[in-house]
Amino acid sequence: MKALVTTEDSGFGLRMADVPEPEPRPGQALVEVRAVAVNRGELSMMAMLPPGSQLGWDIAGTVLRPAADGSGPAAGTRVTGLADGAGWSELAAADTARLTPVPDDLDWTAATAIPVVGLTALYALRHAGLLLGRTVLVTGAGGGVGRMAVQLAAASGARVVAWVGSAERAKGLRELGAAAVSTYDAEETGPVDVLVDSVGGQVLNRAYRLVVPGGKVIVYGNTTRSELNLPVDWGHARPGVQLRYVHLFHELPAHPVTRDLGFLVQRVADGLLDPQVATVAPWTDAEPALRALAQRQVNGKVVLTI
Amino acid sequence: MKALVTTEDSGFGLRMADVPEPEPRPGQALVEVRAVAVNRGELSMMAMLPPGSQLGWDIAGTVLRPAADGSGPAAGTRVTGLADGAGWSELAAADTARLTPVPDDLDWTAATAIPVVGLTALYALRHAGLLLGRTVLVTGAGGGVGRMAVQLAAASGARVVAWVGSAERAKGLRELGAAAVSTYDAEETGPVDVLVDSVGGQVLNRAYRLVVPGGKVIVYGNTTRSELNLPVDWGHARPGVQLRYVHLFHELPAHPVTRDLGFLVQRVADGLLDPQVATVAPWTDAEPALRALAQRQVNGKVVLTI
């Protein structure tokens, strides 16, 4: 079967290859993949893995062979979820605990754009507690997780302030529920109860200064690859403040993933959550879309159709 | 009645003055103070308050008049606890929810040395969860809260590593339960599950690098008055890591203080917790002891007798 694998030969680091079919473990279903979504985390991994490595978490497709242990969806079920790291492939193995059914009226491109960004945003916000009546500042709000976090925080009753790196990145954020959109302007923002950051560096430093005593800072990325730097009174001026680094694959074992992902999928199917698919390309011509994603020029998700 | 008040005239910023007796609110007892303990937080406040201001949290003494609302200990009860900020005085008002009885066989100097440092250490460690089988690194372990944190973490089943600024500051820490004592030497320390810091700056940076994924960092001070600076991989290399700033007066409303303080007092009375009273001086001659405390030359508590 065909799969995208890392290579040192081509321009962007991926090539199509013939690879052996995956051998699912007892708790894994074998999925015939129809579409995958690309995350910045995978771009980072591409650079680190040896040539010939497979990649890919987000998949959507049809169950070809259900799990041997009897768990999860039956053969023929349309599903989306997290493959076990080799999803950019015609066939992928996935833990049934990380799959959820997809309604017939939801297309593959929307379905595959949900798992990584939706669950990351959902689990990040869960650490903030009840958001009703709170102000939530989302930095890097123009990206995939950022756009999910804006929508999910707004749906939780929060006033959401979205910070983006440029006016271009702000497109559509008000429609997604942001009460205010700003290019990292602290003066416009005012005090915030919850800060959700993925930028790091000076943006995090500036945003942090707005956090109130007892506030919560949830970080899920560091796109500027900066040291963490906060002002001298970072704690003393904010007794009880909490800072937490959330990583999706560390969170998963603590949550009912099938149910949570099912909630997100249904919300998308109902038109209440927009997965913000920005670019769809055939997987045979992925390079331009991946390049744009690496350069943070994509306002949402890159999806590859198989 | 007499009280210590701030002044611009004298060398260290305090003088004895005649002040009006406090007027307790309905939930406050009036305490005849026999001894007080001095905290570094009060030294900081001295510099900021206008001349003539009273100070003081830790008190031990006898209830002269119980609270008007009927709460708390009866007249004549020996107590220790937190005065409402004017404890360095012959008479002090204190919320009964922040007082606890003192056994007859526990002297005033030991009793008054417990509340601020004992409750700060206890509430800091509570945020770490179960410590049995965990490694806890305490920085600034030579100070008042540090010495409490070492003892309480060891009593919770943790392996405690104590970091101190100098060999002189290390005195007695092994006897208090530290499995290892080091002058900020990361190589000797190895991975830690919980970091309790009050030093900040480069010490916190160095200690942080030892924290494992999912580890907890609890900060209750910043004696170096430094910006918070952590390495680039502060989060990515430690998914789930949590950082929290704990301030005693922010914590108090969330805890049963009378009961918690009673536990600490009983533990001291039973010889299981040492309040580390390092210097006792009459309040009429407080200056040398306060100077030594400000210069971090005191391995434990400064107590003033009234």
Enumerate the domain spans of chain A: 2-117+255-305, 128-245
CATH numeric code, B2-117+255-305 = 3.90.180.10
Average pLDDT for A238-255? 95
A245 contacts B226? CB cut-off 8 A: no
Q: B28 CB contacts (<8 Å, ≥6 apart)? A: B67, B84, B93, B94, B95, B96
Contact call for residues A91 and A32 (beta carbons, < 8 A) = yes
Q: How far is A282 from chain B (nearest CA, A)?
A: 31
pLDDT for A136 beyond 90: yes
Is 80 exceeded by the pLDDT of residue B135?
Answer: yes
Q: What is the mean pLDDT of residues A95-123?
A: 97
Q: How high is the pLDDT of residue B11? A: 63
pLDDT over 70 for what percent of chain B? 99
* Contact status of B239 with chain A (Cβ, < 8 Å): yes
pLDDT at A62 over 90: yes
Tell me, yes or no, if B253 comes closer than 8 A to chain A by beta carbon. no
Length of chain A: 306
- Window 197-216 of A: residues touching B by CB (8 A cutoff) are 213-214
Backbone angles phi, psi at A167, to 5 degrees: -60, -35
* List of chain B residues whose C-beta atoms are within 8 Å of the C-beta of residue A228: 228-231, 234-235
Do A196 and A135 form a contact (C-beta atoms < 8 A)? Answer: no
For residue A11, pLDDT beyond 70:
no
| CA gap B200, B219 in Å, rounded | 8
Mean pLDDT confidence for A247-275:
95
Contact B232/A at CB under 8 A: yes
Among A55, A47, A65, A130, smallest CA distance to A88 is for A55
- Residues B84-100, mean pLDDT to the nearest whole number: 97
- At A262-305, the pLDDT tens digits run 999 999 999 999 999 999 999 999 999 999 998 888 888 999 99
Give the number of other CB atoms < 10 A from CB of residue A297. Answer: 14
pLDDT of residue A160: 97
**CA pair distance A2, A5, nearest whole angstrom:** 9
pLDDT at A298: 86
Quote the CA–CA distance of B303 and B282 in Å, as a whole number. Answer: 8
Q: Is the pLDDT of residue A10 over 70?
A: no
CB atoms within 10 A of CB B40: 19
Lowest mean pLDDT among B39-48, B166-175, B250-259: B39-48
CA distance B276 to B147: 7
Q: ipTM higher than 0.90?
A: no
**Interface contact flag, B234 A247, Cβ < 8 Å:** no
pLDDT at residue A189 in the model: 79
Q: What SS3 class is residue B265?
A: helix
Residue A155, classified by CB atoms within 10 Å of its CB into exposed (0-12), middle (13-18) or buried (19+), is middle
A contacts of B239 (beta carbons < 8 Å): 245-247, 249-251
Chain B residue numbers with beta carbons less than 8 Å from the beta carbon of A244 are 240-243
**Do B2-117+255-305 and B128-245 come out as alike in CATH topology?**
no
Would you list the DSSP string of A177-239?
T-SEEESS-HHHH--EEEEEESS-HHHHHHHHTTEEEEEEEEE---TT---EEE-TTTTTTST
All residues of chain A having their beta carbon less than 8 Å from the beta carbon of residue B246 are: 239-240
**Which among B222, B230, B251 has CB closest to A235?**
B222
* Superfamily name and number for A128-245: NAD(P)-binding Rossmann-like Domain (3.40.50.720)
A 10 A CB-CB count for A262 gives: 17
List pLDDT tens digits, range B189-220: 789 999 999 999 999 999 999 999 999 999 99
Scan for tokens 């929810």, then name that residue: B97
The answer to whether residue B10 scores a pLDDT higher than 70 is no
Q: What is the pLDDT of residue B302?
A: 96
B228: left (phi over 0), alpha (psi -120 to 50) or beta: beta
CB B245 within 8 A of CB A232: no
Instruction: Give bridge partners of residue A214 from the DSSP assignment.
Output: none
Rounded CA gap, B34 and B61, in Å? 5
DSSP symbol at A162: E
Which residues does chain B have within 8 Å of residue A227's beta carbon, measured at their own beta carbons? 229-232, 234
B239–A250 C-beta distance less than 8 A: yes
Interface with chain A: mutation pick from B195, B245, B248, highest number of A CBs within 10 Å: B245
Strand (E) positions, chain A?
2-6, 14-18, 28-38, 58-65, 78-82, 91-95, 99-101, 135-138, 159-163, 180-182, 192-197, 211-219, 228-230, 242-245, 277-282, 301-305
CB A222 to CB B238 under 8 A? no
Report d(CA A249, CA A229) in Å as an integer.
25
Q: Among all residues of chain A, which has the CA nearest to that of B249?
A: A239
A241: closest CA among A193, A175, A196, A172?
A193
Beta strands in chain B (DSSP E): 2-6, 14-18, 28-38, 58-65, 78-82, 91-95, 99-101, 135-138, 159-163, 180-182, 192-197, 211-219, 228-230, 242-245, 277-282, 301-305
Residue range A161-207, pLDDT digits in tens: 999 999 999 999 999 999 999 998 767 778 999 999 999 999 999 99
Q: With 70 as the cut, is the pLDDT of residue B112 above it?
A: yes
Tokens read off for B68: 């008007």
Contact B240 A239 (CB under 8 A): no
> Residue B235 pLDDT > 70, yes or no?
yes
B134 vs B146: CA distance, rounded Å? 18
Rg (chain B; Cα; Å): 19
Look at residue B190 in the predicted model and tell me its pLDDT.
83
Cβ distance of A245 and B239 shorter than 8 Å = yes
Contact state of A245 with B238 under an 8 Å Cβ cutoff: yes
Min Cα distance B75 → chain A (Å) is 35
